[in-house]
A = this chain, B = another copy of it.
Amino acid sequence: MTIKDLARESGYSLGTVSRVLNGHPNVSEKARRAVMAVVEAQGFELNSNAKNLKQSQGDSILIVVKGRGNELFASMVEQYQDIFSRTAYPLIIDYIDELDSEVRRAGVLCREKKPLGVLFLGGTHHNFLEEFSKIQVPSVLVTGSARNLGFGNLSSVCADDCKGAACAVEHLLHSGHRQLLVLGGDLTRSDTSRNRYNGCVEAFRRYGLDFKDPCYYTCRYSYQSGYETMKRALDDGATCTAVFAMADVIAIGAIRAIRERGLRVPEDISVVGYDGLAIGDFLQPRLSTVAQPIEAMAQRSAALLLEQIERHMPASHETIPFSLARKESVREI
């Protein structure tokens, strides 16, 4: 079943059928009804390959999500679905592997789907420098700053990772902790981890202390890796009264490792996570964490994108304030 069949069965021509299906103005009510009657009866849907191939300009908004298992991004996607359901822009949501280039992928999809704009959920400076020049449509990098990249069509919205981490660490220092362990991502590959690392260093400096590298343990963003890394740290004889994990999932894994040592959280070791995942509030103790401003980031990034698309505003860059969620996993000493 193609629009050709529709044309034959409805008695109208290809052109008219296409216009009906796309809600174009210059169609008689009679023609519209005739075509729609057949559509209802047969359950026809346009072939999006042919549509995209021919269309010079689509009407959708593309969201490229980096990493499938990322709960934070999953929540963001939900927000976007909510936000854009109130507009006329269909969403194309594309998930790519952590290791693939989001910009290259966006380039391919821009050619194929011709979206009005692109939202990047996660991304690396490196990839943008390399290939973003090929992308012409308004875009927003979410969860990272593009201010220094200098692309005219790339806005950005992020929480201040450096300050957020600093805030978490200061919370621990302020509570009297001096022996800290920090668990986070690979500093050579993750912009985010690097920013948060810098925040740690800064917080220490502000307290007149030195953040020593041996306090930093590299791990992947998963429960299991958090568990293994913390376990290894403790096995290596690391001593601490507090742990800052750069992700809640890492923190949750670390807590298990701590408990397996016969230690308690927060009585023996305090723990602060990062992200503010829903699960954190269902643990005991509830996880203290740096809560990502998910809703605000989604709102602002969507707004920025729409301003670029609809009102041709120039790219701009925003930093959303985070908030420290003080729950029950930190103890004063």
Contacts and interface: CB of A to CB of B under 8 A. Distances in A.
Contacts of A255: 282
A279 interface: yes
Nearest to A108: B45
Interface residues of A, number: 33
Nearest to A256: B282
Interface stretch (A6-14, A27-35, A48-56, A305-313): A48-56
A223 B53 contact: no
A87 interface: no
A47 B227 CA distance: 44
Interface string A74-100: 100110000000000000010100000
Contacts of A47: 53, 111-112
Contacts of A45: 108
A74 B69 contact: yes
Contact of A259 (B104, B223, B284): B284
A279 B252 contact: yes
A74 B259 CA distance: 28
Contacts of A53: 47, 49-50, 53
Nearest to A226: B282
Contacts of A227: 282
Interface in A237-269: 252-253, 255-256, 259
A253 B282 contact: yes
A95 B77 CA distance: 12
Nearest to A114: B49
A129 interface: no
A114 to B, nearest CB: 10
A278 interface: yes
A68 interface: yes
A329 B281 CA distance: 19
Contact of A282 (B49, B112, B223, B281): B223
A278 B50 contact: no
Contacts of A278: 223-224
Task: Please list the 9 inter-chain residue pairs (A to B) with the smallest Cβ-Cβ separation, ordered nearest first.
Answer: A49-B53, A49-B49, A49-B52, A256-B282, A252-B282, A223-B282, A49-B112, A45-B108, A50-B53
Interface of A: 43, 45, 47-50, 52-53, 68-69, 74, 77-78, 93, 95, 104, 108, 111-112, 223-224, 227, 252-253, 255-256, 259, 278-279, 281-284
